[in-house]
């Protein structure tokens, strides 16, 4: 029997499979089911900064104007629609109903009053908080430095509020990505999650409309994740979770070999249902037995950038050789 335990965000996980933040983890019942199917931990569906701010604004209006009917309607509309208590109850009940670590998640794009809400998440019993952060770098007036500074400011403000571990799930849209992420890892951050996968646009050529692309990832999407976990695991001073493109136990093994502490899985579980976690765990165990490894530490980081014989495989970006081979097409 191999030992699948790993350490992530100051917790010991019974195995490295974390269910990624999504509707897969939006009720205590679903969280329980994920635990029963073997999940090592879960990240709850994100609460959005906008949701928190709407509630803050509604309370402010209520305090200013007392109990006018229309104000009450306004307040109750927002509190019904964006019930923060519901999120706190999700954290509390998910925690009470399971023995695995339960991480909360907030989607944020700015630092502000919403940060105070993190304290309530901590009080509700979350084992940690994952910040689902993405600032679209699409404003030609805003420099990369300005955008990157916000990540540090948010983290600093959050850490003033709470003492539970904080992770940051980021995109790969940074120009000086290695420096940015290594610098983040040297703050109070417990883990970096590489990477989030976003809503992607597509074009319907018949209707000449912008439509939603596929919301799920494909197994091939793991390449970018592996490249960056491989590069960064030798340098960061926090844990790493590999996210995007982990679709099998063998994909999890790849991420661990590049130096991840754990993996986060979403698309594969939407497609294959929670019981698929058991298959993934079996695949990891089979591979370890075949290779004679007893624990994850026996091979974690074995193929990081610093440890491979041909690090160029991580660096190579151009297809020079393939172009020359396919000249007769």
Q: Which residues bind ligand FMN (CB under 6 A)?
A: 20-23, 45-46, 105, 107, 132, 169, 196-197, 215-217, 243-246, 264-268, 270
Both structure tokens of 87:
């999120």
Question: Residue 75 or residue 239: which is nearer to ligand FMN going by CB?
Answer: 239
Closest separation between CB of residue 72 and ligand FMN, Å?
30
Yes or no: say if 76 and 138 are a contact pair by the CB < 8 Å rule: no
H or E stretch at 76: helix 69-81
Closest separation between CB of residue 90 and ligand FMN, Å?
12
Both structure tokens of 75:
């307040």
Closest separation between CB of residue 320 and ligand FMN, Å?
29
Closest separation between CB of residue 231 and ligand FMN, Å?
19
Closest separation between CB of residue 229 and ligand FMN, Å?
13
Q: What share of the chain is helix, strand, coil (3-state, %, to 5)?
A: 45, 15, 35
Yes or no: say if 184 and 151 are a contact pair by the CB < 8 Å rule: yes
DSSP letters, 226-286, are: HHHHHHHTTT-SSEEEEESS--SHHHHHHHHHHT-SEEEE-HHHHHH-TTHHHHHHHHHHH
Question: Residue 27 or residue 307: which is nearer to ligand FMN going by CB?
Answer: 27
Paired sense of beta strands 239-243 and 191-194, if any: parallel
Question: Residue 75 or residue 274: which is nearer to ligand FMN going by CB?
Answer: 274
Scan for tokens 């495989």, then name that residue: 313
Closest separation between CB of residue 180 and ligand FMN, Å?
19
Question: Residue 23 or residue 113: which is nearer to ligand FMN going by CB?
Answer: 23
Question: Residue 30 or residue 293: which is nearer to ligand FMN going by CB?
Answer: 30
Apex 186 CA angle, 185 and 188, nearest 5: 85
Question: Residue 52 or residue 246: which is nearer to ligand FMN going by CB?
Answer: 246
Q: How far is CA 197 from CA 11, 93, 176, 219, 281, in A?
A: 25, 28, 19, 13, 23
Closest separation between CB of residue 40 and ligand FMN, Å?
14
Query: What single DSSP character describes residue 9?
Result: T
Closest separation between CB of residue 294 and ligand FMN, Å?
27
Cα-flanking dihedrals φ and ψ of residue 131, to 5°?
-90, 115
C-beta neighbour count of 56 within 10 angstroms: 16
Question: Residue 43 or residue 75: which is nearer to ligand FMN going by CB?
Answer: 43
Both structure tokens of 79:
């509190």
Question: Residue 3 or residue 221: which is nearer to ligand FMN going by CB?
Answer: 221
């Amino acid at each position: 029997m191999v030992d699948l335990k790993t350490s992530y965000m100051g917790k010991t996980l019974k195995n490295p499979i974390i269910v990624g933040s999504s509707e897969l983890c939006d009720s205590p019942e679903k969280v329980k089911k994920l635990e029963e199917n073997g999940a090592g931990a879960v990240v709850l569906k994100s609460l959005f900064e906008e949701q928190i701010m709407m509630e803050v604004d509604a309370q402010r209006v209520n305090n200013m104007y007392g109990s006018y009917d229309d104000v009450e309607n306004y307040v109750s509309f927002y509190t019904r629609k964006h019930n923060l208590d519901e999120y706190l109850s999700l954290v509390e009940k998910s925690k009470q109903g399971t023995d695995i670590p339960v991480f909360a998640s907030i989607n944020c794009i700015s630092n502000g009053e919403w940060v105070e809400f993190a304290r309530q998440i901590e009080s509700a019993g979350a084992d940690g908080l994952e910040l689902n952060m993405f600032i679209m770098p699409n404003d030609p007036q805003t420099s990369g430095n300005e955008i990157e500074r916000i990540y540090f400011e948010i983290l600093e403000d959050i850490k003033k509020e709470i003492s539970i571990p904080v992770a940051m799930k980021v995109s790969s849209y940074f120009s000086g990505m290695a420096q940015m992420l290594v610098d983040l890892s040297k703050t109070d951050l417990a883990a970096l999650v590489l990477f989030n996968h976003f809503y992607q646009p597509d074009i319907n050529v018949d209707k000449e409309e912008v439509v939603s692309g596929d919301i799920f990832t494909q197994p091939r999407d793991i390449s970018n994740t592996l490249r960056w976990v491989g590069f960064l695991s030798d340098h960061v001073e926090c844990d790493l979770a590999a996210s995007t493109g982990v679709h099998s136990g063998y994909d999890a093994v790849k991420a661990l070999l590049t130096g991840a502490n754990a993996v986060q899985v979403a698309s594969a579980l939407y497609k294959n249902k929670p019981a698929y976690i058991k298959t993934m765990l079996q695949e990891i165990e089979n591979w370890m037995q075949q290779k004679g490894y007893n624990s994850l530490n026996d091979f974690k980081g074995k193929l990081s950038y610093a440890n491979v014989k041909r690090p160029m495989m991580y660096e190579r970006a151009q297809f020079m050789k393939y172009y020359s081979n396919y000249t007769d097409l």
